[in-house]
A and B are shown apart, each in its own frame.
Chain A
Amino acid sequence: MTSGPARVTGATVEVDKVSKWFGQKVAVSDITCSFGTGITGLLGPNGAGKTTLLRMVTGLLAPSDGTIRVLDKDPRRHPGVYRDLALVPEEDAVYGFLTGREYVEYAAVLAGAPISSAADAIATVELEDAQHRPITGYSKGMRQRAKVAAALVSEPKVLVLDEPLNGTDPVQRAHLIAVFRDLAARGHTVIVSSHVLAEVERMADRVLAVVDGKLAAAGDVAAIRGAMSDIPYRVRIDTDLPRELAAALMSLDGIAGVAFEKGTLMVETTDLPGLGSSLPSLARSLDARVTQFEPEDESLESVFRYLVRRT
């Protein structure tokens, strides 16, 4: 069941009644959905089954049940489909001894793309300055961009990104999002997974929410956010003046509760963007120093569970 359209017309990727289990553990349960041109966000808490679903879409895992077609072909049977399908995996699996340039050129040669496309892909992710350094010395964000460049090098019609913004700084994040949006605008299918709603919201036109291996909701971002609107987020705030800040926060709209846990301020809010934008001025007025502002995964998970209950 879904709360919105899980299928699209003119789909490039079709997932039909797909399940995957590892021994007794069911990772994905009876998911039917499809992906077309544009950016589709796959949203869900850690362990929800997003990576398993993406690995099945790219043919790295075989479905235990159901079928997957990418550009009308089964990726496990037709390696030729990888001319038009690329994955940026979540894990940091890169050849550390290669330079960034060598790594992307290697991807180009293997994909049958012209070697000159490596320079373009590196420029696209703004990795030119570090391209001649071994990847082993890269930061997490640089490795992430090198992986994205290696995927972009063949201009794939379908690009699958598993938590692509992990480890990137805000500037890199904004740039990568622009790259993905540009690709989508040019008619490519971009599937991007994330456990952070705000990230998906910035990227995706359409969202599929996955919880406990099931499709919990589907539709545009506004519909998903609307479905979540009455469930408060839990936010962790570290500050040197927790009590003063807690008292001030209670005056804000959308604050559902404030508590202290081991010296940390835990705030429940139904208006996360509002809290995010009000907090700096509030802290300044109190002369308080805020060292951490972090929505908890757990709260996001509870939102997803709520969605499952609703569907």
Chain B
Amino acid sequence: MKQADPSSTGRLSRRDFFKGLGTTAVAAAAAQAESVAQELQKLNTEKVFGPGPVPVTLKVNGKTHRLELEPRVTLLDALRNHLGLTGPKEGCDRAACGACTVWLDGVAIYACQKLAIDAQGHEVTTVEGLTPDGRLTPVQQAFVERDALQCGYCTPGFVMSVSALLRKKPKPTVQEVLHACAGNLCRCGTHPRVLEAALVAAGVRPVSMTRTEVIPHV
């Protein structure tokens, strides 16, 4: 059987398609595109901030702060370097370590992954905001008693993650604690103690992953 000649199968080429579309349709499309562009420009003039500093109002730990920040400044940068709230730490600046964990309307988030301008209109809580009266919360107390910290650099992040969990689930399971802390890293290796502290703070039976005995040498 003779092979079909592609040029004679009646299939439309791209060129034919555009030709067939006709000039009227193309003109209409162009006019539409132009009006979309105009619309965008109008929106941009109203909504695009920066690149220079813009007024930013942040509500942190119940206090309102008015700042002038470039729109690219992260919430973490704003808290640490502009408000002097250094409880949230910078460990990676890319949502991998959790040392910067704060609450946004009570939900644990990475402060390094939120622009400060986007945090406006929300309640931000840092670790400093947990203890306005300077007394330790049950979670903090349990962290100290169970030694759920070593160098302590990741600790504020863990405290915020665990505290957020306990607000939502006052009696969490082991799995729920592990899940809540899945976004927090520790290099000193305090992990078993963090789990213990979370359960102790919740008043759940202090399941310990570690068992220790000091045996006298004879």
A joins B in a complex: no
Q: Which residues of B contact A (CB under 8 A)?
A: none
Q: Which residues of A contact B (CB under 8 A)?
A: none
